[in-house]
Amino acid sequence: VAEKQELSEFIEKVIRVNRVAKVVKGGRRFSFSSLVVVGDGNGRVGMGNGKANEVTEAIRKGVENATRAMKRIRMEGTSIPHEVLGKFGAGSVLMKPASKGHGIIAAGPVRAIMEAAGIMDISVKCLGSRNPQNLVRSAFAGLDALRGFSEAARARGKQSDELK
């Protein structure tokens, strides 16, 4: 397992490992669920859930699912192109671009996403629910909503130099 991780070109961040129980006739049967974020540090990032009887197996399944679900996000240098609010369930994440050298100002689960994606300068405020699952999903919703400068101009029916 250690050799496999060295060969991986992705940044893997385990957000949460949770012990869950299924109540059966003979008592409770325990298993583990994991929430994992995987990124290449260059604008591609994905999130995955894994569930198994062993912690390591749950994490491995989470990494596998996250790798399959990787998406490219729009970046402008080391930050995001514009301010965006991502929502999922009762959780909201407000992301604001920051100047070079500012660093990542974010709560734990969202910080892991930004590091995995390669975003170095950003300010993030988590609103509403602080549940890690909701925070991660709302951060991904916000990152999906990002539009580049030329896309914004095209959506308004203008040339990109008209908006500058």
Pick the CATH number of 73-153 from 3.30.1600.10, 3.30.70.20, 3.30.230.10, 2.60.120.260: 3.30.230.10
Residue spans per domain, the chain = 2-71, 73-153
The pTM is what? 0.85
Distance of CA 31 to the CA centre of its chain: 24
Tell the CATH topology of 2-71: Double Stranded RNA Binding Domain (3.30.160)
pLDDT of residue 4: 47
Q: Which residue in 62, 44, 75 sits closest to 133, CA to CA? A: 62
For position 3, what pLDDT does the model report? 44
Over the chain (164 residues), the average pLDDT of each successive run of 10 is 57 95 95 96 95 96 96 91 93 94 92 94 94 94 86 74 62
Residue 154 pLDDT: 77
